[in-house]
Structure 1
Amino acid sequence: MSNSLRDQLLKAGLVNEKQVKQASKEARKQQKQNRHGNAAAKDQDKRAALEAKAAKIERDRLLNQERAKEAERKALAAQIKQLIEENRVPPGEDDIAHRFAHDNKVKTLYVSKEVHQDLVDGKLAIVTLESRYEIVPSAVAEKIRLRDESRVVLLNPPEQAEDVDDEYAEYKIPDDLMW
């Protein structure tokens, strides 16, 4: 003789049949949601998954940008190395010490008289390749400067025609002073 609470409330007249049906319908709905999982929790999980996916896509994009920059840097270094190796000028017989400043230090490179004069005149330039100095034509040094300015150590501008109105034109300053 078990009377459910619903039956007891109906007998007592505290609720009508419509309210009982509504309550049982709500109870079934609640059980179904509990069985299949909470919809709000599912939405929250979906949002969290979408946010994690968006964060991963952003990290991957940044990583790809870094890799692309690194590949570009390596390609520029390879281009510079190839330019220097293909266009290097042999220093000739080691007759004259050509001194130049690099990293606030005076460096010495022994070259022939012709190479020394071309360096002074701006026809040749000194560039770095790894840890050594190489002599290349000034046109090649300009190409290297466009790619990496720190590689060009010495590039004298070519001498301009002497100014006619210059009062001191007859007193030419020698560029090849030995220190």
Structure 2
Amino acid sequence: MAKANPLQEQLLKAGLVKKSQVSQAAREQVKARHGKAPVAPSESQREAERARAEKAERDRALEAERKEKARAQELQAQVRQIIETNKVKRDGEIEYRFNDGTVIRTLLVNALLRRQLASGALVIARFGEGVELLPRAAADKVRERDPGAIVLDNAQPGSSE
């Protein structure tokens, strides 16, 4: 049996309570501590728990947003690197016109580049403020990371807007 607290011992010695009453009180205390029915939380405890849950949700949302931004920046860096390393040198005096959204742009190319653009072997991709010519394989890698970077691809239906 659990040891009685000092107050209970004093009450027993003074003869104000019986041993059975002390043990009954001890059982009730144990039930209260380990009982199946939890003590209802106070309003301030509920409010604090609600505030903690809201803060945790905000933190999760901010972290997800941060990760998404980092992922988008990483993909843009990959696109820039692919275009820089694979761009085809442009030269020639033949004008090649294409749609870039609502704007018609013009590139100066030679006959070989013009044929490759028409056949889809070369693709026009957005790079910074301008555009660059890319071989098909590099253009496919760029499209995987950022489909909006491809301006003209004659091998893809509907890409020359």
TM-score w.r.t. length of structure 2: 0.68
Secondary structure of the 1:125 match is strand
Greater length-normalized contact order (CA 8 Å, ≥ 6 residues apart): 2
The answer for the alignment partner of 1:58 in structure 2 is: 57
Query: What is the distance in 1 between the residues matched to 2:122 and 2:57?
Result: 48
Query: What is the distance in 2 between the residues matched to 1:54 and 1:156?
Result: 53
The answer for the alignment partner of 1:134 in structure 2 is: 132
Question: Over aligned residue pairs, what C-alpha RMSD do you find?
Answer: 1.7
Once the 2 structures are TM-superposed, how far is the Cα of residue 104 of structure 1 from its aligned partner?
Answer: 2.0
Once the 2 structures are TM-superposed, how far is the Cα of residue 43 of structure 1 from its aligned partner?
Answer: 2.1
The answer for the alignment partner of 2:19 in structure 1 is: none
Structure 1 gaps of 5+ residues are 1-39, 159-179
Task: Return the letter of the residue paired with 1:127.
Answer: A
Query: What is the distance in 2 between the residues matched to 1:107 and 1:139?
Result: 24
Alignment: residue pair count:
117
Once the 2 structures are TM-superposed, how far is the Cα of residue 121 of structure 1 from its aligned partner?
Answer: 1.6
Structure 2 gaps of 5+ residues are 1-38, 157-161
TM-score w.r.t. length of structure 1: 0.62
- Map 1:1-179 to 2 at 5 A: 43-92=42-91, 94-157=92-155
Query: What is the distance in 1 between the residues matched to 2:120 and 2:68?
Result: 34
Once the 2 structures are TM-superposed, how far is the Cα of residue 85 of structure 1 from its aligned partner?
Answer: 0.4
Query: What is the distance in 2 between the residues matched to 1:87 and 1:74?
Result: 20
Q: Which has the larger radius of gyration?
A: 1
Give the share of equivalent positions with the same residue, in percent: 36
Task: Return the letter of the residue paired with 2:74.
Answer: A
